[in-house]
Structure 1
Amino acid sequence: MTTYVINLDLPGAVQSRHLYGHFAEHLGRCIYGGFWVGEDSDIPNERGIRSDVVEALRALNIPNLRWPGGCFADEYHWKDGIGPREQRPRMVNTHWGNVEENNHFGTHEFMDLVELLGTDAYVNGNVGSGTVREMSEWVEYLTRDGDSPMVRLRKENGREQPWKVPYWGIGNEAWGCGGNMTAQAYADLARQYATFLRDHGDNKLYRIAAGANVDDFGWTEALMKSVGCVGCNSSGVASPYQAISLHYYTMSAEWENKGKATVFTDDEYYATMANAWHINTLLKRHTTIMDHYDPCKTIGLVLDEWGTWWQVEEGTNPGFLYQQNTMRDALVASVHFDIFGKYADRLFMANIAQTVNVLQAMILTDPDTGALVLTPTYHVFEMNTAHHDAHVLDVVAKDAPVSRKIGDKKLPALSASASTKDNSALISLSNLDLDHARTITLDLRGREVTGVTARILTAPDVRDHNTPDAPDAVAPREWTEISRVDGGLQVELPAHSYVTVSLDLA
């Protein structure tokens, strides 16, 4: 039995809702066939955007959506995606499948999607093959009011009022597909680009510099060193950008042999979970570097690509990155969310890769029937909505946690987090053990608990997943194996399960 102590009256940092962000790239069937079907489709849509996809994502209260990439961002020229669709020039998507892109889904369609979802736009600009002027004009086109060349162009294309677009990425993966740059070369470019990304009216930009890949700590240091100690010195000089990014994907083995989505051994499962847990080490080391140069924490960290990356499903285009999504993927997500809260004072945003039909997706759509399937990962996001903008609560284990050695990594058998907002609290509990149930005691202190409910996400086998024929094979349900004990609660956690406990507080 494991006991966790939670002081309900000692709230910590606010866990931003933007940690539950999403990512939609022009990749495979994420945009076309995922979000976008066109006005003439038999699939119910609103101005070409799938209505069932919008409905499903609104239920997650998604806080932001990153677009148009990814690697695609650094070959995308935004003016090709405005104006009458039949007149838009075509291009080749050289990164993903080498397919032709007709640019029917562009700036106006994306902002229409953002408004339908009720979310914030995160636009990733083109540094790799674009220009400072091109990105600066895109900001003007989207966010400026009054009169200017880009405002007139926007109005000619049917939009009178500017949009709110708070988040802007200054390129993507500049160390790789975004230009194969050195850290210092990119750091200089990031300062230059950020300077010309203007605030228009009351639209204040949150500029995100393209950060490190996995454990490239030198890249993070180069970006931080380029702005020095910001925000807390007597000169009051602000950084030209407000955040830097980080990318990390979870696999069962090395990049060349990522493993399969639904066919894997128990050892591969545990290797996957140990690799998911590794995000804790990465966040700790990157944030330590940031703390050295920015002790007042004025620059945020944005994990704008994370999730599982498996071999593509057989019979699909290898450049489309389509993969199934099992209970294992759900537990990868739950572990990440538990860890994110530990860094809530620096980690501002995170974006799962990706939202529809690509990598660790929330939603899968069948290309033949049009059927929509919600994945196990979708349900983890839904079960976490009460954590949005809530104060983190420390979860302290009274006894040494059970763990197993996986290569050079140590994998805890259990993962937990908690937060509080208003007169409520949410506790998340994951049992990562494939075979053994665990009994958890929650030692709850500081506030009276007046009501308790719980939900569980699990399946008979960790390889189980949802399909059009079995859409609820892995779906949340009420959990009743929870009881009051002196000073708290006792919760039973089946093997490979995720449980949330909701508390009403006096």
Structure 2
Amino acid sequence: MTLTARAVVDLDVAGDTISPHLYGHFAEHLGRCIYGGFWVGEDSDIPNTAGIRQDVVDALKALNIPNLRWPGGCFADEYHWRDGIGPVQERPTMVNSHWGDVVEDNSFGTHEFMLLCEMLGAAPYVNGNVGSGTVQEMSEWVEYLTRADDSPMARLRRANGRDEPWRVPFWGIGNEAWGCGGNMRPEAYADEARRYSTFLRNHGDNTLYRIAAGAPDDDLSWTRALMQAVSCVDCQIKPESPIFQGVSFHYYTHAGAGINTESATEFTQEQFYGTLANAHDIERIISLHEAVMDSYDPERRVGLVCDEWGTWWNVEPGTNPGFLFQQNTVRDALVAGIHFDAFHRHAGRLTMANIAQTVNVLQAMILTDDEGGLILTPTYHVFEMNKNHQGATHVPAMVLDGPTVDVGDKKVPLVSMSASTSGGTALLSLTNGSIEDDLDLRIDLRGVSASVQRARVLSGQSPAAHNSSANPSAVAPVALAVGLVDGVLAVRLPAHAFATIELELGAPSF
């Protein structure tokens, strides 16, 4: 059976700018994300630069990754940054109680992370410790990283081999304060976020974007408390600008039974469509948080940040359950495509998003082994195919009539799409969420004449198809044949597929 759908893209109707930071990444001291993923040490036989694995860096640079969040996650609220500076052999160890109950030797610390960001060309997003740390500890970390003069922390940084300060624009004020970050109530954490923000100072020309840790999923009590705190509605003296600049939330996708309960590679048709339903639900959740934020901040001075998102399946059999190593399939790629379409539509308020995580953990871009093997996942390819949306202008893309599937009491669309323009080009992203049917899609390109420059599609023999050391290219983008006649694109997408179409734009059309 072949499904059909019609869509319209208004190439001349400029919307919000899609922040490059919606394509952010996340690296936690969890399983083999840092150790064995990014970091192999200078003595490793695997090619590295000062201990940082070079092939991982090279692969990620091809994605133009805009920022990298570190050191957590839950790990952030038990991490004390002074343990990760100075001579490696003198650094104290600690127990990583959240992730595998393993001993952390702190060989990858602040200087190593900043070198990694420099190699990637990514802005650092440092997540500070509220749960077990202090205001002074976090304030001094900012000073250590970003102050240029002869201050105490700048002197300490120089003693550890770095003369000039770094630029660190993004700063997280704890993580998941409702759970592993302290089991706080929203109002209690909101007061802490105000207090910490007061002492996270801008040094020199390094201006901080302070991100308060917000809700799980659609728990609006957190967003409401934080916006009440930042807006200071009942205060006699109000700050000239928001005391923190971002409010976060986290959202993980599963098939219906909950996170960490289902297989990454073995699933039924019902579970496949349940996954797509939960992926589409990100739009409802963003809209709810936006509505609360708009009521307090109609000028949109405070950004919404989804700094953990992605699929969360059972770990691969035989691996440490605390290391969260899961395989990555075509189904995961479709989840990513659906999320990005929603992110683009909400780019006016949504300022950052970070997939969890970058290497070897959850919905990773890259899977590595200790012998030097490296696999690019289907999700990696979605990021690469979509990278020209970064910094582009969102334009309306609407599916006028398309197939749906019933999941419980919901009708879940099987077609997802978004579009953007940049200069004289446009990029369209398309997803066919049918598990078994091809899709004939007709897209009316309005407002500007266009010609097709390149079209690619990502799919596999089944939604469970994935890349492995035996077949590293089982799921990889290939050319897609499309037609364009009188401003109408004709596209046939295979089942369970993600595609991008790159256009060159011409003169206005009437």
Measure, in 2, the Cα distance between the counterparts of 1:234 and 1:15: 34
- Determine the C-alpha separation between the residues in 2 that align with 1:74 and 1:298: 27
- Aligned with 1:57: secondary structure? helix
Partner of 1:499 in structure 2?
499
1:468 aligns with 2:475: no
Q: 2:155 is matched by which residue type in structure 1?
A: R
Give the deviation of 1:40 after TM superposition: 0.4
What is the match of residue 487 of structure 1? 487
Q: Distance in 2 between matches of 1:7 and 1:366?
A: 45
1:66 is the counterpart of 2:62: no
For residue 394 of structure 1, what is the aligned residue in structure 2? 396
Q: Is residue 358 of structure 2 the alignment partner of residue 360 of structure 1?
A: no
| Counterpart AA for 2:375 | V
**1:171 matches 2:150:** no
CA deviation vs aligned residue, 1:397-453 (integer Å, no higher than 9, x gap) = 333x32122113331010000000000000001000011111111111111214432
Aligned in 2, Cα 1:263/1:162: closer, same or farther, shift over 3 Å? same
Give the superposition deviation at 1:256. Answer: 6.5
For residues 417-456 of structure 1, what are the structure 2 equivalents within 5 Å?
417-456=418-457
Residue 224 of structure 2 corresponds to which residue in structure 1? 221
**Which structure 2 residues correspond to residues 366-405 of structure 1 after superposition, within 5 A?**
366-367=369-370, 369-399=371-401, 401-405=402-406
In 2: Cα distance, 1:420 partner to 1:387 partner: 8
DSSP-derived class of the 2:289 partner: helix
- 8 Å CA contact retained: 2:399, 2:415: no
The aligned residue for residue 38 of structure 1 is: 41
When structure 1 is superposed on structure 2, of 129-138 and 433-442 the one drifting more is: 433-442
- Could you tell me which runs of 5 or more consecutive residues in structure 1 were left unpaired when the two chains were aligned: none
Separation in 2, partners of 1:161, 1:24: 25
For 2:123, the aligned partner's letter is D
Task: Choose 63-72 or 490-499, whichever is displaced more.
Answer: 490-499
Per the alignment, in what secondary structure is the counterpart of residue 385 of structure 1? helix
Shift of 1:454: 0.2
| Preserved contact between residue 260 and residue 312 of structure 2 (Cα < 8 Å) | no
When the two structures are aligned, how many residues end up with a matched partner? 501
Q: Residue 319 of structure 2 corresponds to which residue in structure 1?
A: 316
Q: Which residue, 48, 55, 58 being the options, matches 1:55?
A: 58
Residue 254 of structure 1: CA displacement? 2.5
Counterpart check, 1:297 vs 2:296: no
Residue from 343, 350, 353 that aligns with 2:353: 350
C-alpha distance in 1, partners of 2:24/2:243? Answer: 23
For the residue of structure 2 that corresponds to 1:34, the secondary structure is coil
String of CA shifts for 1:129-184, please: whole Å, max 9, x gaps: 00000000000000000111000000000000000000000000000000000000
Which secondary structure does the structure 2 equivalent of 1:134 belong to?
helix
Identity of aligned residues (%): 61
Q: Is the 8 A contact 1:60 1:385 kept in 2?
A: yes
> Partner amino acid for 2:415?
L
CA distance in 2 between counterparts of 1:127 and 1:77 reads: 10
Residue aligned with 1:255, SS: coil
> 2:334 maps to what in 1?
331
Alignment of 1:24-423 (within 5 A): 24-228=27-231, 237-255=240-258, 258-367=261-370, 369-399=371-401, 401-423=402-424
1:397–1:255 distance in 2 versus 1, CA, 3 Å:
closer
**CA offset digits 1:170-220 (Å, max 9, x no partner):** 000000000000000000000000000000000000000000001211111
Cα distance between partner residues in 2 of 1:479 and 1:199: 49
Kindly provide the amino acid, as one letter, of the partner of residue 391 in structure 1.
T
Aligned residue identity for 1:455:
R
Separation in structure 2 between the aligned mates of residue 266 and residue 166 of structure 1, nearest angstrom: 43
Which amino acid is the alignment partner of residue 267 of structure 1?
Answer: E
Q: Which runs of 5+ in 2 are unaligned?
A: none
TM-score (norm 2): 0.97
Change (3 A) 1:373 1:279: same
Contact 1:123–1:168 at 8 Å: present in 2 too? yes
Amino acid in the other structure paired with 2:503: L
Q: Are 2:259 and 2:312, in contact at CA under 8 Å, matched by a contact in 1?
A: no
Structure 2 distance, partners of 1:421, 1:258, is: 41
- Cα distance in 2, alignment partners of residues 91 and 184 from structure 1: 31
Are residues 158 and 257 of structure 1, via their aligned partners in 2, closer, same or farther at CA, if it must alter by over 3 Å? closer
CA distance in 2 between partners of 1:235 and 1:171 (Å): 24
Distance in 2 (CA, whole Å) between partners of 1:434 and 1:263 is 14
Does the residue aligned with 1:384 lie in a helix, a strand or coil? helix
Deviation at 1:477, TM superposition (A): 1.1
* Other structure's SS at 1:411 match: strand
- Give the letter for the 2:380 counterpart: Y
* SS in structure 1 at match of 2:448: coil
Q: What is the distance in 2 between the residues matched to 1:410 and 1:69? A: 36
- C-alpha spacing 1:86/1:235, structure 2 compared with 1 (3 Å): closer
Distance 1:235 1:29 in 2: 45
Q: 1:269 to 1:187 in 2, by over 3 A?
A: same
TM-score (norm 1): 0.97
**Does the 8 A contact of 1:229 with 1:294 survive in 2?**
no
Distance 1:235 1:71 in 2: 32
Tell me, yes or no, if the aligned pair for 1:252 and 1:258 is still in contact at 8 Å: no
User: 1:229 touches 1:293 (CA, 8 Å); kept in 2?
Assistant: no
Summarize deviations over 1:28-51 as a string: whole Å, max 9, x none.
000000000000000000000000
C-alpha separation between the residues in 1 aligned to 2:189 and 2:237? 28
Alpha-carbon deviation of 1:234? Answer: 11
The within-5 A match list for 1:17-28 is 17-28=20-31
Amino acid at match of 2:469: P
Q: Deviations over 1:376-395 (max 9, x none)?
A: 00000000011001000101
**Displacement of 1:370 after TM fit?**
2.3
The 1-side partners of 2:60 and 2:259 are apart by: 33
